[in-house]
Amino acid sequence: MNFASDNTSGLPPDIMAAITQANEGYALGYGNDALSTRLRDRIREVFEAPEAEICLVTTGTAANALALATLTPPWGAIYCHGLAHIEVDECGAPEFYTGGAKLVHVAGGNGKMAPEALAAKLAGAGRGVVHSVQPAALSLTNLTECGTRYSAAEIAELAGIAHDHGLAVHLDGARFANALVAAGATPAEMSWRAGVDALVLGGTKNGLMGVEAVVIFDPAHAWELQLRRKRAGHLWSKHRFLSAQMLAWLEDDLWLGLASHANAMAATLEAGLAPHAEMLFAREGNMLFARWPRGLHHQMQAKGAQYYLWPEGETLEGPEEEPVSARLVSSWSTTPEQVDAFLGLFAGGG
């Protein structure tokens, strides 16, 4: 009954097998191996982007920060939602990697940026005024941090506003696969065709050990991105082990299958929760936010249910009857039995 995060799961058998297989023999380091070449070509194929640059790193924080630093000068402003992972959960990594860029919050409900709010912020941004940081990048997350989803059309609308103001567009795709299968769109439709300039294609939350691909669609950024990765200590020597995982993941649409399963488990969870709890946001992927009395949280956690309260800082101390919110995340490894067991805690305790 672990719904704490999709990164508390391990690796599916096919990925583990790919690691074992990659372990044979010798291979040149730093991405100069055959698997890494194959992966680059495969990602280009999957994204219908024959000139894209691909850089693998092992955390989403690194991937986001490297992508943003490649798109944003030190005096740049990055426009993001106030709940964005880059703002809230990365201990200032974007500021570190960019050399001090500023994250500017754009409002919007359900963790999604409102186009008119973005337009208004950009209109008052002080472009060309030497006293102001200069608008440089738009950063979106899909799935969002609230578990909601941007459609390709919504991304295109925001990206269009951004491009009209000369900004580059970054997409934090820690749960890109979950968004993709929910949308029934192609990778290209959900990224560069919608105006995304740099995508973080997240593998870790969807079955890999620690593999994220920064995909930059404009090859003019390729060399800078590679230098930034090395300089940050994110260029793996035994690079084949990263590439092997992602290759296996992209094989036969495994990645989409894993994400579909995770989304389906969250849907089951949502349906079962409906009688017992109040939903905070629309569930559109593998993550949901719901609220029920604190006393019940106590009982559930005592019986082994694992999940985080929300927002950060929320605690189990307080009146028992007061509603307290939880974030519940399913993954590729969540089973119907685990969902049932979790829901059973409501039946028994509610």
- Positions in 25-64 near a copy of itself (CB under 8 A): 25-30, 57-64
C-alpha–C-alpha distance, residues 73 and 119, integer Å: 21
Q: Is 304 in the site for a copy of itself (CB under 8 A)?
A: no
DSSP three-state, residue 20: helix
DSSP three-state, residue 189: coil
Q: Is 299 in the site for a copy of itself (CB under 8 A)?
A: no
Q: Is 70 in the site for a copy of itself (CB under 8 A)?
A: no
> How many residues would you count in the chain?
350
Residue 242 burial (C-beta neighbours within 10 Å; 0-12, 13-18, 19+): buried
C-alpha–C-alpha distance, residues 247 and 249, integer Å: 5
Closest separation between CB of residue 186 and a copy of itself, Å?
28
Among 48, 157, 218, 224, binds a copy of itself (CB under 8 A): 224
Q: Is 275 in the site for a copy of itself (CB under 8 A)?
A: no
Decide whether 65 or 167 has the Cβ nearer to a copy of itself: 65
Among 36, 70, 72, 98, binds a copy of itself (CB under 8 A): 98
Q: How far is residue 271 CA from its own chain's centroid?
A: 24
C-alpha–C-alpha distance, residues 87 and 18, integer Å: 34
Q: Which stretch binds a copy of itself (CB under 8 A): 41-49, 253-261, 263-271, 307-315?
A: 307-315
Q: Is 226 in the site for a copy of itself (CB under 8 A)?
A: yes
Among 14, 42, 44, 75, binds a copy of itself (CB under 8 A): 75
Find all residues with CB under 8 Å of 124, minimum gap 6, and list them: none
CB-based contact 103:78 (threshold 8 Å)? yes
| Gyration radius of the chain over CA positions | 21
Query: Of 309-328, which residues contact a copy of itself (CB under 8 A)?
Result: 311-313
Q: Is 18 in the site for a copy of itself (CB under 8 A)?
A: no
Range list of β-strands (E), the chain:
53-57, 76-81, 102-106, 134-141, 168-173, 198-202, 212-216, 278-279, 287-293, 308-310, 323-329
C-alpha–C-alpha distance, residues 243 and 137, integer Å: 29
Q: Is 335 in the site for a copy of itself (CB under 8 A)?
A: no
Q: Which stretch binds a copy of itself (CB under 8 A): 108-116, 130-138, 159-167, 265-273?
A: 130-138
Decide whether 194 or 225 has the Cβ nearer to a copy of itself: 225
DSSP three-state, residue 290: strand
Q: Is 228 in the site for a copy of itself (CB under 8 A)?
A: yes
DSSP 306: B
Residue with tokens 């993001």: 80
Closest separation between CB of residue 163 and a copy of itself, Å?
20
Q: Which stretch binds a copy of itself (CB under 8 A): 35-43, 94-102, 177-185, 291-299?
A: 94-102
Decide whether 94 or 195 has the Cβ nearer to a copy of itself: 94
Closest separation between CB of residue 166 and a copy of itself, Å?
13
Q: Is 136 in the site for a copy of itself (CB under 8 A)?
A: no
Q: Which stretch binds a copy of itself (CB under 8 A): 97-105, 154-162, 265-273, 275-283?
A: 97-105
Q: Is 337 in the site for a copy of itself (CB under 8 A)?
A: no
Decide whether 275 or 304 has the Cβ nearer to a copy of itself: 304
C-alpha–C-alpha distance, residues 52 and 48, integer Å: 9
